[in-house]
Chain A
């Protein structure tokens, strides 16, 4: 039973480039959440997605950031024209949609460094 997988684990980009972060949820999970953790800060909610739908994107910056969770394949968090302030750890979590605890299981994170 593989857990939540994220890749790459580390990503280095120069200012102005694009960053694509991928998240594969646990088997059977169709809910995905993205969080950002800035240095010395807590995790901040960014976006909540179900298959092919964005449910809540209230934590996403208005510009340059987008997320998708297609019917097939991983969820993608895309950051266009990265700036130094985008340097952070980005965590993905998934949960099972049925009844129960709705516990979120986290991936190992992608650490983005913008030079």
Chain B
């Protein structure tokens, strides 16, 4: 059974800092790993999706890496801005029916 853990649960940083969010998963036989952003009371916005054959994906100030052998993924946010404040969710797709398992998320606050 796949389990996804995200550390830290919450993070507060001053504006402009670079930061790293961590995600670990127990079953390395994943199909892909996806990072989402969720604003309070809102739905999920897909940020980056990394296929199992890939090592990283980049979009603007965001870079996500994947290390299947160690069961880890990181989301790197460069030059953080107050608008980046949200909860960031990591989700691993695995299993026969490619079920997606979510972590609880990291709640990020970027202080102006």
**Which residues of A approach B to under 8 Å, CB–CB?**
33, 35, 41-45, 48, 55-56, 58, 91, 93, 101-109, 111
Contacts and interface: CB of A to CB of B under 8 A. Distances in A.
Given A102-B31, A107-B43, A55 B97 contact: yes
B99 A102 contact: no
Contact of A102 (B36, B44, B93, B102): B93
A91 B101 contact: no
Interface residues of B, number: 24
Contact of A56 (B31, B46, B51, B99): B99
Q: Tell me the interface secondary structure of chain A in the complex.
A: strand
A106 B44 contact: yes
B21 to A, nearest CB: 14
A101 B103 CA distance: 20
B104 A42 contact: yes
B42 interface: yes
